[in-house]
Amino acid sequence: MKIVIEELQDGEEDQIIIKCREMPDELLHVLAMLKSQGALIAYDGNEIHRVQPKEIYYIEVVDNKTFLYCEAKVLESKQKLYELGSYLSNNDFLRVSKSVLLNLSKIKSLSPALSGRFEATLDNNEKIIISRQYVSDLKKMLGI
Amino acid sequence: MNAEEILKTMFRSFFIIATGIVISMYVFCLIFYPDASFTLYDIGGILKLAFISDLPYLLFYSNKELSKKQMYIRKSVHLPVLLAVVLYFAYLWDWVDLNHMKEVIVLLLLILIVYVVVFAITICYDKKLADKLNHRLRERYRS
């Protein structure tokens, strides 16, 4: 796919023009993200929801499906964990195990969980294990 | 722990266990066989025993991340398995005489002490790091 970025003249409005024969899924995702202005598109059965990153406690992949866990609801996302990871990297989200992205702002406390792992207790009292291999990323993110 | 993590842990533990065995053998021989001398064969035995003692770590293998409770359960299974494995090979290589209860008890106690010391050091280090992380989290999000 060719990407062209042109500089605008003074007074011209920002615009995105998409030229394609068919709309591929990737492009639909990008459009959905642009339209939702930072929010993620997620599904609850046939219902479509817009979820702001700050509402999400953690994101987990279970049986190749991606789920967004909010305070009291669980929604499904069509995006892969690595896509969400790169999209949310500026929103306090951190990969804490092979299948979980955790919103650090929702952590109430951390406690040791043996073998260099940690257990994060979230504001809604759910518990998430931080795998040993991701502890260094957490330390880096918190400036330790 | 997944396969990669298990292998990393086993690699690290091999050296800790080998050191533990050398210390235990030193104390054990000081008590029961002060005139003992060690051969090249015995050094090989130490390395073999360190490798064999590493194998019970496979009990921690899991595709999913184990919860704190599951980890404690596996840890409580790991210790007796480790004691049994070490005792069996120590007996097989004539390092310990099973007819002398005192020898067996001292050997098991030494393994237990090394195990508990390593466990306690790890827990202390993790506790300190958890405190630091909690402090930073509070500074960043709760201030």
* Interface predicted TM-score of the whole assembly (ipTM), two decimals: 0.74
Task: Please state, as a whole number, how many other Cβ atoms lie within 10 Å of the Cβ of residue A114.
Answer: 20
Q: Does residue A95 sit within a domain?
A: yes
Residue B10, judged by CB atoms within 10 A of its CB (0-12, 13-18, 19+), counts as middle
Mark yes or no for CB contact A131/B126 under 8 Å.
no
- Supply the CATH number for residue A99's domain: 2.40.50.1020
In terms of Cα–Cα distance, which of A90, A77, A96 is closest to A137? A96
pLDDT in tens, A115-139: 889 999 999 999 999 998 899 999 9
Question: What's the domain count of chain A?
Answer: 1
A133 touches chain B (CB under 8 A): yes
- Mean pLDDT score of chain A: 88
| Structural domain of A32 | 25-141
pLDDT in tens, A74-90: 999 998 999 898 888 77
Q: Which residues of B touch A144 (CB under 8 A)?
A: 129, 132-133, 136
pLDDT at position A37: 67
Residue A9 is which amino acid?
Q
pLDDT in tens, B11-42: 988 998 888 888 888 888 888 888 888 889 88
Q: Does residue A106 sit within a domain?
A: yes
Please say whether the beta carbons of A78 and A43 come within 8 A: yes
Helix H or strand E segment including A134: helix A132-141
B36: left (phi over 0), alpha (psi -120 to 50) or beta: beta
- B-chain residue closest to A105, CA distance: B141
B2 touches chain A (CB under 8 A): yes
Core vs surface per residue B14-29: b (16+ CB within 10 A) or e: beebbebbeebbeebe
Q: Does residue A81 sit within a domain?
A: yes
B67 touches chain A (CB under 8 A): yes
Testing the interface with B: which of A114, A117, A142 to mutate, by most B Cβ within 10 A?
A114
Which residues 83-122 on chain B approach chain A with CB closer than 8 angstroms?
Answer: 122
pLDDT at position B48: 92
